[in-house]
Structure 1
């Protein structure tokens, strides 16, 4: 069944035809001036409806989209409630345009609104006694509708109040008259329990639709001086109030620089997803298909916007003979501009072999894929961000065309996977760790991360200053111990936020997070890890975070009474210790660890995989103290470990050659 047209000759189709005839008859009964106004497009200013008001079939107001849920109603009851809902919804459209100033004949328009509203209420009164619970919902929805319109009026006179929250209130308020139809049918059919999820689904779709309208109509909105949330993200409020609005060309440049259109398309898809999820337990395929269709269309627009931005961003890349699949590691690596590096043959071969193993494992779409968890499968976005970061921060002497092509492809992949942040994969919610790694990787390659990524990361900060992997807002179904600050995630986020510390909000977030460096430290001088069964992962992360914010490394040194105990659990753990010991000046330990890693490298350039990615059980907040309450997984492809170890050895080689 189409989301608008039922199968020809079906019961739903027959009822829809009767419904349309009754609406047309209703408008014929209006006084002539109101009838003319309802039919006339000339009465509208800056708004040209595609059809006459009385033939409007706005899907948001159509009970036929919920046919499977309410087809149990008798024909006459269904038609009466559908008719009442339709005229109430149409009256809300008239009121909306009256408030917008779209209608020229305001006096006649007010009368048309009252005629439609009174007719709808009268029909509902014929079906529900005043003692019915329906009227409580009616009054509530009516109040929400008026609140949304009031918020819109206030935003027009006080642009500074045009926030995301107010946009949501406005959008959800506009659909409330349509929800009245659902409330009536739920009450009449004895299915009161479906009202809440259906109402929320309708409201979420309304927000998605508002975001899309704002993106698609922004130029015409600028021309008529109509402020929207999209424009509020582009134009400083003071400029809008003072009338010093940028030109359309200037605004287009801001969109090009900040990718705000992509942000809005993705947020629209987020609201589409919420609308679909809410209907999970209700059999209503027509509505679900309708929302899916809208989401698919939004996704296509998003892809077009990303492609347009990427084309512009990548113009500065010179054409290359080889693609990122063509790997040439036989060419000499770049030499230092100040000296010829003293190459160690063993280190040189180890780095070459490992780099080839990582580059050849890259997928055609630019991703690297590894791990394979029973609950969510393999990771692409998170692993790509991590591997890309390790490759992007290799010493300059290892730069070549093959590496550059691989990083360019990985950056494109991450742009496509962005959804107000990044997650483990498409099946998992956005998380702070994946988002921080992606932000680090994009910045390391000179790419422009979406502007709202910083706000997304800040939203993960917990009350104790640390950063949680997930947030309740995005991940309500996650165990509670996954929604609190984690000692191994916090330093990664600090490092990712460091380049933005001129922003007072970011500076404050970093200052609060840095307190965790001392608070989380264990008695042996290391730091625990929630997600990793590794001794040195978090220590290495804190060292890198301190370097990124120019924190004196003396605060991390293992001083008297806290001597560094150079023990590691796996080759991956050894790589973190190697990088950590180099950065704090413990070259004796670095030499020992590097020799171990060189001895353990496999013939294919990789290293042994080990089950070190921990999945703590619900309720376990300190899994490092509860080894029996954890399940650990290995990187089955070995690309995660190999990229990490490769990075550490390459930096050690650069250090030994005197090129660091």
Structure 2
């Protein structure tokens, strides 16, 4: 890809424009067209490296020109600066191709035929968007291959340079199968945008047929998108995309194009992940529909605790683990089970549910969000806390856990950026510092667990000093992974309240917490502006730990609200409390929009099983009954 960077360096344009042309995200999206020549090159060993580099640059610049052309005909507003650059790219590409292929070369006739095929497909697509007639599978594939016709030129260009058409037909088929698969994917991914811009696509045609057959009338993009999945159309088309990618990968492998085959395997994996997300989303919807939405009337503290315990007992998977929070990594198992186990063990470590859960969590060596992810600091903190509350030996777990602590006392979620990138399949160009830097919410939870482990008193001291240093010029601690700073502040107060010399530093954060309470008694989720039982329970527990007497009014109002808002099944309603920033996001406040979605990054996710929230509320309510009894 250095060929493109070197060329951009020669352009007489402002630095800002050069940076935009080298934007890592954009280049990642253009990966196929930057590497297509090098992917195909092993099939043509006769071609020199200098010719391959020149062809790679010229073919990519021509692709960039076509991209601008597509945008121009699709939009009435097109920046003149981009238009100027697109012509610059076109002229450079044509001069470069002319140097590689002299007049009279068969390449030019093939190139001309492919251009005609491309334009005919664009015209056919535009006519379809205007008429919005039923689109057949045959027409869809014809347009998909036609729109990718200039990519087929890569095969012809290499064959002409090598002076051999030996593998031409199979490689043309390989590229065609790939682009049919990509078109299936793009039409699903861009469904809402295509509808908004008046584009007529194959899945849109199928969705309209489905609505007509079922007597449904709507032009709402969001509803149409829902029906795309409810009808099974999206899933079927993703399955077809996989089939075409597999055909392409088979050809690439038989032709000895190992790098190209690896790229195609990633496309297959991406489609399979999308299908899994769809399946997970339907599962999440089913789970949520089975929950109670009726408030338990005439609730007392004792009955509330009993009902919450019953809810947690009924919602344990195969009696060995709790699951919650649906994300792109799947549902959380280990992290959720360790957290809930710690909450319950603080109440009563003789609860018969706990030993099987702890044994299951310990048997999974990853100490992670779930078995598919790598070990993280938070999951490890909660596992150590769970073990410690259960009276189990934590020596071995502690050694792995302490690896997430920095020298300054800050705690990180992930330690090894290389392993993290590999797990997330991220290129080196994408920063993961947001996930590998220390954060107050992770550090506070770790310090909270450390407070009860005498053998790690020095680590507790260092972690508390770090938390105290974060308060300089601030009124409270900030959360990274959570939608409210209540989380980090609650655990921070609870940790420092165990430190005789630093407890006084909690006064300002405690006042901040109290001031965040709404007049009705709850603490809200700032990401959704909804009452949050989770944040309410955390805030109450922190105020109680710091100075129950001074904050008695806030605590009483909060508990009263919790008792009045428990559901008849023993749970509390949840909101989107978990925040998943992109790996390069250092400051969550820099994200302009958080998507309400279970998948991807820069999104906010709910504990759809209500287990995280319910166990947190249960723990808080029990702490209050225990303190009342001791009085």
TM tier, smaller: 0.3 to 0.5
